[in-house]
A and B are shown apart, each in its own frame.
Chain A
Amino acid sequence: MARTISRALAIFAALAILLAACTGTTSGGPSGSAATGAKAAYGGSVTFAMNSDISNMDPMLSGLFVDRHLMYAMYDSLVRVTPKGEIIPWLSALPTVSADGKSYTFKLRTDVKYHDGTTFDAESVKWNLDRYRLTKESLRLGELAPVDTVTVVDPATVRVDLKTPSAPFLSVLVDRSGMMLSRKTVEAGGADFTRKAFNAGSGPFILTEAVKDDHYTFKKNPDWWGKAANGDKLPYLDTVIIKPITDGDVRLTNVRTGQVQATNAVTGKDVPTVKADSTLVYQEIAGIGYNSLVPNRAPTFIFNEKRYVQAVSLAMDRDELLNAGPAKGVGVVAYGPIAPSHFAYDPSFKPFAKPDIAQAKKLVADVGKGPLKFELLVSSGDAATLQFAQLLQSELLKADITMDIKTLLFNEIVTLQQQHKQSGMTLIGWSGRIDPDGNVYDFNYTGRPNNDSAYTNKDVDALLDQTRTTSDPAKRKDLFLKAQQIFVVDDPSRIFYSFNAAQLLTAKSIQGFQDFPDQLPRFETVWVQK
């Protein structure tokens, strides 16, 4: 028996290695309606595996990315986003915005009911937005900080007045800050609502069962207002089951054995295998999340000297890190935080297309304090991150830069960053936001909570302030790119090296499942081909 196991594993490993030599481009994914020409079929069930369990189902208190997997199934937002990043009407039409950019008037749908039977209207919107922005323990306070007042104009109209113009404001309402819940159910649920959010939403699916660490079951909302592009009433599926399966090998095995029909988390080493599997469909697009090295640029710390940051950035081989590192080519090389799906993305911005070892050495020599040596903090218990750090370490050595790797608990690293006490650099990612402001502002503006590098640059602050007060996309793009030139190249705040891949792996029978840059699944257009 042991020999059979070894043989099976050896064959499996050999196949994986062989297929890893093949680089594949994204296989085309189905669109929202029947891509193959077949008519979408009603009925059926899909089980989806995510890589971690949720913390809670209340958008007000949700702090984890995975929480949103469930929320998009059971809640509707005021507006939503397409895979291309365009904001579209959802529970509301796109708002009219006053000339000064401070007043947003939302015309609401009048055919929406929550799962508990109560009506969605302007009062409900006001209650939800006030709850998110005024409850002291709300984790949406930062996102809704620009809001001054929320006013019910009539049962189908709400006006939101801002303290100052905020161009990214509408994008914030796509996600948790714009999700609408039934007041009756939330108040009845009390403290237990975070885990038992039954009948609270108005979305395409109704949460019927929630077993933590095991599964979440959703049934079709037969009264949902949504329609497909061809006029079909949505959703198609009868049931959606979402399961948290933390181990990547076990998750993939469940997909390949049919226990699970879809997942959005495939480890890099398994991508060649799934691409070669004719029973599966693999989609991959550039995500909006990025990965970066975060230097501590506070005074008295080594990376207060910007030339050291530039030297490390120049010495890195980003292509090698992506292709030879644990990601195994899954993802996209990044030079800055503005993602390919952002309107402000500039594909020609490649300041560090190839490593420049000579220039890196010169910069360190110019500082005049001898060779550069620093500490990189990585999260313990994460083999992939450690592997990445070791590859980076070998690259930096070519420029005579010594990087010592120190592992700490993730919480400990986050605490040090928050206090700006990390001695060297840390490795940190960001799940990304639809508007480039969500990837840029808080991380590079002086004194902001996510500015873990303690970075400060008056020119960047001024440019970023303008990106918020200007609504013209062309002008905003120009401002973002000017700021990016500074905080990436001239006076770096961080060292960006890759964008996450938004993956979607589905069984071949699953149709209509679109891959979004935010990596979140949308089940309303999904159907099962029989």
Chain B
Amino acid sequence: MTTYILRRLLLMIPVALLVTVGIFVIIRIAPGDPVLTYAGEDKDPATIATVRAELGLDQPLPIQYAAWLSRAVQGDLGRSFQTHQRVLEAISERLPVTLELGLAAILISVSVALVVGTLSAIKRNSALDLLTTSVTLAGVSFPNFYLGLLLILLFAYVVPGHLLPPGGWTPFSTDPADNLRRLILPAITVATASLAVNLRQVRSSLLDVFGQDYVRTARAKGLRERAVVVRHALKNALIPVVTIIGIQVGAIIEGAIITETIFFIPGIGRLAVQAIPSQDYPIVQGVVLISALSFMLSTLAVDILYAFLDPRISFSAAEA
């Protein structure tokens, strides 16, 4: 297993390099001049030329990339064009916020999917099954920003007592109770999109497993249905679900982008949303690199988890 993990980690390096080359080129060939954005309303040509040279944007693309890469391997991802903050510092300030939001969303999504998906599978084609299918499809059809706004308006104007605040953020270390209150609505917003996928996956995996011989045998031996489902069926049904959840963990940053903007949460997603239209190249590059690395690490973690969930899976077989 160690060899397998090391090999996967080494493979991440060329993939990360390809990602950096890709995003480096894409954002620079996009139309528009970031120096004009930086200069704001002041357009003195001499100032703009000076700023362009200061930011290194007067150099050919390969030189710009080589300069960026030589600093990046030393842990320096540069400074934001707009705020001059170190990119790594900007990301590390915001990453815990996005992780907390993303993990809370996954927790909600997985918990609800497990319970409801299991019940849907057990009571297949019943009214409950149809209801959950309809509700989850509706949830995944709602655009993130619309759902977020609806929830804000609901708790601001309809549900009495202003129980849940209309956005904003308090760090857990400052006030745990307020942090959790502010986490609920955005976490539900993010969770809704993945909930449908997870629920359907749990349901269909369980239905597959229910058709297996060993489950039929367990029922024939007189085991109660709860024992059949929980002790035998669910464990095996979860293997494909784990894959999907692993991908969702890796995609936490992308999932949070719109939600963080609506709820004005100071996470990585909001950082990216501001950096992209203002062509803040270092920030965009840094966020994309971190996203790519987190995605690769989460898929590696899922592969490792497989081996523990299913003893039939071995890394020597995977490498072959």
Contact = CB atoms under 8 A, between A and B. Distances in A.
Do A and B originate from a single complex?
A: yes
Interface residues of B, number: 55
A118 interface: no
Nearest to B40: A63
A142 B50 contact: no
A56 B168 CA distance: 21
Interface stretch (A278-286, A303-311, A365-373, A408-416): A408-416
Contacts of A62: 40
B264 A244 contact: yes
Contacts of A137: 47, 50-51, 54
Given A4-B158, A253-B156, A247 B41 contact: no
A366 B168 CA distance: 59
A63 B167 contact: no
Interface stretch (A5-13, A16-24, A104-112): A5-13
B43 A213 contact: no
Contacts of B189: none
Interface stretch (B145-153, B195-203, B235-243): B145-153
A36 B278 CA distance: 45
A62 to B, nearest CB: 7
Interface string B131-160: 000000000000000000110111011100
Contacts of B83: 55-56, 194-195, 212
Contact of B47 (A12, A138, A213): A138
A5 B264 CA distance: 22
Contacts of B153: 5, 8-9, 12, 249, 253
Contacts of A243: 168, 264
Contact of B33 (A53, A408, A415): A415
B271 A409 contact: no
Given A56-B82, A63-B41, A214 B149 contact: no
A222 B271 CA distance: 35
Interface string B34-51: 101111111111110011
Interface residues of A, number: 56
B33 A411 contact: yes
A56 B154 contact: no
Nearest to A191: B84
Interface in A38-80: 53, 55-56, 61-65
A138 B54 CA distance: 12
Interface stretch (A82-90, A94-102, A254-262): A254-262
A5 B162 contact: no
B117 interface: no
A250 B263 contact: yes
Interface in A136-153: 136-143, 145
Interface string A450-487: 10000000000000000000000000000000000000
Interface string B111-132: 0000000000000000000000
B274 A53 contact: yes
Contacts of B30: 409
A337 B30 CA distance: 33
B101 to A, nearest CB: 13
Given A409-B32, A414-B37, A139 B266 contact: no
Given A253-B166, A418-B33, A449-B43, A411 B50 contact: no
B156 A195 contact: no
B184 to A, nearest CB: 15
B166 A250 contact: yes
B262 A250 contact: yes
A225 interface: no
B169 interface: yes
Given A249-B153, A250-B263, A139 B274 contact: no
A122 B9 CA distance: 60
Contacts of A116: none
Contacts, number: 161
Select the residue from A65, A139, A141, A257 with max chain B CB neighbours within 10 A: A139
Nearest to A138: B47
B81 to A, nearest CB: 9
Contacts of B46: 141
Interface string B271-293: 10010011100000000000000
B31 interface: yes
Interface in B221-274: 261-267, 270-271, 274
Nearest to A52: B274
Contacts of A245: 167, 264
B85 interface: yes
B257 to A, nearest CB: 13
Contact of B39 (A9, A139, A145, A246): A139
B95 to A, nearest CB: 13
Contacts of B39: 63, 139
B158 A8 contact: yes
B90 interface: yes
B36 A192 contact: no
B26 to A, nearest CB: 14
B86 to A, nearest CB: 8
Contacts of B152: 249-250, 253
A220 to B, nearest CB: 21
Contact of B40 (A64, A136, A412): A64
A259 B82 contact: no
Contacts of B34: 411
A138 B36 CA distance: 14
A217 interface: no
A211 interface: yes
A254 B157 CA distance: 11
A351 B264 CA distance: 44
Given A4-B158, A137-B51, A257-B166, A410 B277 contact: yes
B170 to A, nearest CB: 9
A388 interface: no
B281 to A, nearest CB: 12
Contacts of B167: 245, 250, 253-254, 259
A56 B279 contact: no
A256 B271 CA distance: 27
A408 B264 contact: no
A464 B302 CA distance: 69
A11 to B, nearest CB: 9
A247 B261 contact: yes
A195 B84 contact: yes
A372 to B, nearest CB: 27
14 contacts: A5-B158, A12-B157, A53-B274, A55-B82, A63-B40, A142-B43, A191-B84, A194-B84, A194-B85, A212-B93, A214-B264, A250-B167, A256-B156, A411-B277
Given A137-B54, A257-B166, A415-B36, 20 more contacts: A5-B153, A8-B153, A9-B153, A62-B40, A63-B40, A64-B40, A192-B85, A213-B271, A214-B264, A245-B167, A246-B264, A250-B166, A253-B152, A253-B156, A254-B167, A258-B162, A409-B30, A415-B31, A415-B33, A449-B45
User: Nearest 5 A-B pairs (CB), nearest first?
Assistant: A63-B40, A411-B32, A449-B43, A213-B266, A412-B31
